[in-house]
Each structure stands twice: as C-alpha cells, then as structure tokens.
Copies of this chain bind each other. A is one copy, B any other.
Amino acid sequence: MSLADRVRQGERRAIAKAITLLESTRADHRAQADELLTALLPGTGNAFRLGISGVPGVGKSTFIEALGLYLIAQGHRVAVLAVDPSSSVSGGSILGDKTRMEHLSVNDKAYIRPSPSSGTLGGVAAKTREAMLVCEAAGYDIVIVETVGVGQSEIAVAGMTDMFVLLQLPNAGDDLQAIKKGVMEVADLVVINKADIDPDAATRAQAQITSSLRILTQQGRHSGPWHPQVLQLSALKAQGIDRFWAAVAKYREVQGAAGRIEARRKHQALDWMWERIESGLKQRFRQSSGVRQLLPQMTRDVELGRLAASTAARQLLAAMDPGSSPG
C-alpha cells in the first residue's frame, strides 16, 4: 500500500513518515514529497483550521489540551501542529515536550506534532502548511496551529488558518504590545485566560481590548460579517471552553455563509505560492557564482556609501547570469 493510502487510512506512523518526508530538504525527497502532496490534495480542505497564539506563560498548552479533550468528547479528531522558528536556534521547540499535554498526547483521536526545526520563518511556515494538509487527508477535522507570541510567526499562523485566536493575560499594557506587533489586528477572537485568578482585572482587560478592537477594525481587514470578540475563561479549570467553542461555531457559521472562509483560503494559497517563489528566487540569487564573487565587496561598498545601493543591485542582478541583460 502506498504511503498516501496509509495516510488516508489515518495510520499514525504513515502520517509521521509523510510529514518527515515533507520536511526534508533533500532534492530527491522533495520530488517524492510533491508527488505525495498531489496524491493527498483531493482529500484535504475539510478540516477547520484554528490558529492559537499568546506570549509564553499565557497558558497555551493548558488551553489546547482542554480544548482538544472537549472536542474529542464531541466526536472530533484533533491535530495539533506548531510554528516556532526559534526552535532551529534553540534546538528545542514548543510542543517538543509532549508531556506538556499529557492527556491529549496519549489520546488516539489526537495527533500532536512539534514545530519543524529548520530554516527561516517562511520555511517553517511552509512545512507546517504541508503537515496540515497531511493531517486533513488523514481525517483530522480540527487542525490547531499553535505559535509562540513573539515576532512574525503569529502573522504567518493567521495566514494559514481559518480563524486566529489570541490568548491574553488579564494585564493592562499587554494589548498594546499585541497592537504594535499587528497581532491584535488579525485576531478574530481574543481570549483572556486565567480570568479566575483576578476576575476584576480580567473584566477591565476585556473592556479595554474590546475598545481597542473596535477602533482597529474601523479600518481593518474585517470587512466580513464577523466582528472580533473578547472572551474570558480559565483553561486550567476547564471553565469557559464550551463558550469558546460556541463562539468559534458562530464564526464558522456567519463567515462561512458569507463565503469569507473560502475567500480567505484562496487568498492564503496565493500568498503562500508567492512567498515560496520569492524565497526560491532569493536562494538562486545567493547561490549564483557571479553573485557570490561580487556580493561581499559590494556589500561593503554600499555600507560605506561608496556605491549607490540601486547601482549595486543592478550590477549584482546582471552578474547572476551573464547571458541576460541587467534587470
């Protein structure tokens, strides 16, 4: 039986093997991976893709475990993936330690995969998108993509999911950081976790974030019928998970009916294609022998103001392949 067939039957070892193949950078693996992806593609796209982010300490693992167990009790199959570009530096990874979700990780209706630990954010995000397709082909109908609340990875996860949820602590000022990073703007739902510890602070944070969201979305991307909401819950006590899922269901209903989820996926797929093209072009450029010869000296000259940056760019592009005219 082919690897694609075994994935479609939901065989866990086949899923792991398929994702490992997709993560490989070897050229022969890449050809096999494309073949596998193409074979799996007709069985993909049926899951709901949920992005979840929040700063370290906000309680993401606890929340995802509570949510995952709730969803499995409702009859769903849940895959959890992660995007953490820092894992290639630290060697570690969010989700790397499965004991963080000790009940969910041993449940046979759940599949948990840590972040790919190689390359740039673009590369890590591309691998995670492909892993998401494998999980969908294997019959998981809810795919959760987790990311750490630092840097551009949150925007990348919002760009590969149907709905993006931001977890916040009931602290003033946290929301300003999220606004600054452009994360608040892409949040479809904001969850204030650990609300039970200080209910008054949580209520103040809810009011403040609601007000911020109202101003932000005046000129934002939210042109659909959905208006971002703010919920309070306690993941540790598994309080509020049902209200959270009811809000997600409402989102799917109103955005789905308006064709917004389909439109978002089309947009995401094209963005993804162009991101990969640009990354590939840049890689070719850097690997060209003509460029490698000139780049160090030109970089210095540009830095020191001895060569105009635009002139250097034109000369480097011309050096990329001597046969062509300057770009």
Contact = CB atoms under 8 A, between A and B. Distances in A.
Interface of A: 27, 30, 34, 37-38, 41, 44-45, 126, 129-130, 133, 173, 176-177, 179-180, 182, 184-185, 212, 215-216, 219, 265-266, 269-270, 272-274, 276-278, 280-285, 298-299, 302-314, 316-317, 321, 324-327
A281 B180 contact: no
A180 B317 CA distance: 35
Quick one: which of A177, A270, A281 has the most chain B CB within 10 A?
A: A281
A177 to B, nearest CB: 7
A307 B41 contact: yes
* Number of chain copies forming the complex: 2
Q: Is the interface of A mostly helix, strand, loop or mixed?
A: helix
A290 to B, nearest CB: 13
Given A270-B299, A270-B309, A280-B317, 5 more contacts: A34-B310, A38-B307, A276-B313, A281-B281, A284-B327
A300 to B, nearest CB: 10
Nearest to A325: B27
A313 B280 contact: yes
A38 B308 contact: yes
